[in-house]
Chains A and B, each alone.
Chain A
């Protein structure tokens, strides 16, 4: 029986959410509404009417000061009622909390509680003159995502006739199944193999299907299977398991492919045997060798996150992931799952890390985009808002500060938004007497799954994200994260870790148990797991679905048998579900059963090493790009303000404020700085150990704008930008580590990708640059990830994202008290430009602003840059630098304005004194985006000491901080710009002032 409790706000309480919803309806949809009120609905399944009344009387689900609760439908006047609820099987976090609360307050026995379910819904009571179509559009295009939510609409008249909506339980109704399918792939021809792969979202290529065919045809394999009592014909679970393990998402097949790279520009050809091992692993290995005893890397590339040394007591680990495809379908759920998902990477690194901070970088099309949307795509503003809110809930509710991030805009992200989520963790150097960054598993250790339950949500996430997005992309790949279930699990894990209750831990992400247990089994040499023991959210999951489900908030652990009881008791006490599923073995097989039914029996070597290496072609030909010639500008002041308002440059305070950036109390440099706390910060700095003054910088670089010119320099600039940002706030250039996150469009030549060879060449060049510049800067990559199919096809068109790399840096700050912010501070201080400005306008914000084209992409002179960074760091260590701002999007002009904005002070700036080369006009000097440059202020009395550090380096005194509020730029004695700082503030803040 279903009972509905409706919770309404009391008359004297402002319905702030209703008001905000009404505003969003007007702003987003351009539909006029007078007023929106919200009603929360709890649908109780499995309790009597009396119990429901008790729940209301005891105010269990509502706040009697703020709200009224009733079993009757809402009364009153309104034009329309719209109800939004979840579809069956979708994670309903509030429903879970309500269920636990009802059970506690009503005093239900555990059995009674087991049969209780609570489903939440929201009613919007809308006043205004609008028709049913408009109301349905509000539901569809703003309030609900029909992939995961249902909507019902009633007019005010209909409501009066028959008040309320029918109670609906979002329950999955199904029977338990233990059926294991057998797939006779031996009998399939090539067409049938590919059809099978496609129809089942396996994303396996023909070559891979052939490899699987060959495995099962092998007499040795056949004999082993017979001996183990497993059918010779592959099971559905085995094929699914292979598909997940071998997916591009998990196996990085393009990065490990053998590539024939032809450079038509130089006429040279070469073969690259794995981009990953050649350039990424290769450069890190060389740097570590060079560092010798000073090598600060502890664990690179082999675990869920890279680990480096921080202090004698603490290690730091870092991981950045993308969650692009799910965020395209459901921005809120996709991004929420992305952030809580990447939290589990440090949590599952070594013996498990404590969460320190998050970083988020999003790439979207313009939120002001106008035009018809291709099928299945959401409007960029909706994507932005959904992603922003998903990360807000994921980060804030988990209690992890978001200390660094960016928003990058390009029209091509309409096809797929990029949602980068990163997490930094700390771990005591030793845990329970063992090095914390290492894990081991003994045969006999128990496989335990802890955290959430398994459902159909997230099935095929790994393989789905290894394909392009299309009109038929599966909705099951969409899921909603649950930060609180995860938080409880995390609390438990850290406690179990410190008590030494387990040997190894890893997260359940892509590929679910098949990947997590499959990968852990490599430590011991095998595993035997019974899926019938796995806790499921509802009946109806087939064994293969249990095996590959990517349902969230789960970790897999290896628990020594002697510690199992203690481990499980602690879990129970802390309200965390933990279930033994089997044991790790040294059998050489990944052996899975459902009760007694065989589900999978795969040779570990074949599972992990059996994927055939791809062989790919890459051809580089430099694109021909026009140069529009010298830039002449009439009104420099107006141009500066236009530049400041550009999406890639303008203030992101709207987003930043809604992220908790200082929980954990360690924040030293925040994302917003300056006299009114609204200036831009170059990077985040925090104190991982509250009792220590040592700091950690988190910064990043991302420059897809240069990819169309040359991805080699795109990569070089991204690395330089990340390093530069870290140095700008006080990061030690000699103790830095990087994380590379590649997001590419499909680079494999095929009918649907006729320019695959060029896109692959772009990838090769980016990797070459990564190796060159990581080596030059001495910054090892310690972790990374790639996402290779960021294309959209639908409605007869294809949209490919610009090749995009996020390069994240973490760096040591010896003493946070030496950190520096970008805001100009004291009148009379001297302003310096560090670095050379060249006429490098290709891909620049200026070129886009003026609709011009330039072919000179900024190049990075790493040797000069490194010397500059070391000198600047020394100047900061000596306490000489009072403000420092890196020059990036919008170059000198924008950086100058931002320093003034942060300090709300005027600046004098003489363009004649800027060290420059080849620039033909003021606008070119002001807006060139040459790499490795800074603006720095110092106190006049420190001039000699400061300049002494920069002898022979590009460093020039170009102006000073004024004692009024005017930003004045002169050239040849003439004032080009004379603007009150408040005008600049206005220009910078208006664009995204939502």
Chain B
């Protein structure tokens, strides 16, 4: 079976790197390294040495200019010390069959880089964005998520109902136009939806849908299913006592299950 090598990328305000790396480790990643963005540009680490990339949550550049906007430019325009474009490394990594998980601020980055949703295979085109929550507030609360069983996403395979915390101020999906939204649905690129905790139906009701995202979109995948971006934080549910009501005996599948599914996919390759 293929060895899984995970790379967690941090720096410039990313702040969930530790628990993200921990989640990958618990999920069975054979090698889990955490590097700073500057390690990549210094040429000390190379994306193509890995098979699983994690873009963790945080506040890249303090959300100045809008979440991940400045970081997206950094990915687009930065060079590695040998003169090559860093973006080419990312493309090479993806073309080689690697998987990518972007969480919260990492999801915002993937969307702004155009790695998601890549409708029609148009990678690195910004097709949707994530705007300010309808409440215009940052909020920390746990949300119920229903998994789209028809999505090609490798991370959600075999999963059904999930329960993770959201912690963001800019999580509302905004498509470039109305047609984009329809295509997301018809192509099953919507991987996760905010759901009513009772019925598990996708919802627009606040606070079950914490940001007003259309169709309750909480997470998107790409046509290959190898990229997942989601606003909720699976890595924050890495232990039974992370659940907000574990003292009441409540539980749900750990967020590490998402990591596990991704790793399982890589093992099968």
Contact = CB atoms under 8 A, between A and B. Distances in A.
A687 B237 CA distance: 12
Contacts of B129: 63, 65-66
Given A97-B70, A399-B59, A677-B141, A662 B242 contact: yes
A13 interface: yes
A61 B61 CA distance: 13
A64 B132 CA distance: 15
A562 B167 CA distance: 44
B119 to A, nearest CB: 13
A691 B22 contact: yes
A825 B244 contact: no
Given A104-B73, A662-B140, A677-B142, A98 B65 contact: yes
Given A397-B59, A660-B140, A665 B241 contact: no
Interface string A14-27: 10110110000000
Given A101-B70, A661-B140, A665-B16, A819 B244 contact: no
Contacts of A659: 140
Nearest to A100: B70
A704 interface: no
A657 B142 CA distance: 11
B77 A675 contact: no
A663 B66 contact: no
A488 interface: yes
Contacts of B66: 62-63, 66-67
A574 B38 contact: yes
B161 interface: no
Contacts of B69: 61-63, 101
A194 interface: no
Interface string B125-147: 01111011111111111100000
Nearest to B112: A63
Interface string A561-586: 00000000000011100000000000
A232 to B, nearest CB: 49
12 contacts: A14-B132, A16-B135, A61-B69, A63-B69, A66-B174, A399-B16, A491-B10, A574-B38, A663-B167, A665-B19, A665-B22, A665-B236
Interface string B59-71: 1011111100110
A690 interface: yes
Contacts of A12: 174
Contact of A573 (B38, B134, B167, B236): B38
Contacts of A397: 13, 59, 62-63
B132 A17 contact: yes
Contacts of B1: none
Contacts of B206: none
A105 interface: yes
B78 A104 contact: yes
B57 A663 contact: yes
Interface in A541-562: none
Contacts of A575: 12, 38
A70 interface: no
A593 to B, nearest CB: 34
A89 to B, nearest CB: 19
B3 interface: no
Contact of A823 (B13, B19, B62, B248): B248
A662 B236 contact: yes
B73 A398 contact: no
A664 B19 contact: yes
Interface residues of B, number: 67
Interface of B: 10-16, 18-19, 22-23, 36, 38, 42, 57-59, 61-66, 69-70, 73-74, 76-78, 112, 126-129, 131-142, 165, 167, 172, 174-176, 212, 233, 235-242, 244-245, 247-248
Interface in A850-887: 882-883
Interface of A: 12-14, 16-17, 19-20, 60-67, 93-94, 96-98, 100-101, 104-105, 107, 392-393, 396-400, 482-484, 487-488, 491, 495, 573-575, 656-670, 672-675, 677, 687, 690-691, 816-817, 819-821, 823, 825, 882-883
A9 to B, nearest CB: 8
Contact of B64 (A97, A488, A657): A97
A817 B241 contact: yes
Contacts of B176: 65
A337 to B, nearest CB: 15
A665 B8 CA distance: 15
Interface of B is mostly: mixed
Given A62-B66, A668-B242, 12 more contacts: A16-B133, A16-B134, A64-B126, A97-B61, A393-B62, A484-B12, A656-B140, A658-B137, A663-B15, A665-B19, A673-B244, A825-B248
A397 to B, nearest CB: 4
Contacts of A14: 131-132, 134, 172, 212
A740 to B, nearest CB: 29
Contacts of A60: 73
Nearest to B197: A676
Contacts of A573: 38, 42
Contacts of A400: 15
Contacts of B139: 657-658
Closest 9 CB pairs of A and B: A399-B15, A665-B19, A97-B64, A65-B129, A20-B136, A16-B136, A94-B64, A668-B241, A484-B62
B22 A690 contact: yes
A488 B12 contact: yes
B108 to A, nearest CB: 10
Contacts of A17: 132, 136
Contact of B62 (A97, A662, A663, A670): A97
Nearest to A9: B131
A101 B65 contact: yes
A396 B65 CA distance: 17
B67 to A, nearest CB: 9
A820 B247 contact: yes
Contacts of B22: 665, 690-691
A670 B140 CA distance: 11
Contacts of B127: 65
A93 B13 CA distance: 13
A574 B11 contact: yes
Contacts of A483: 13, 59, 62
A13 B59 contact: no
Contacts of A65: 126-129, 174-176
Given A66-B66, A657-B141, A667-B236, A687 B241 contact: yes
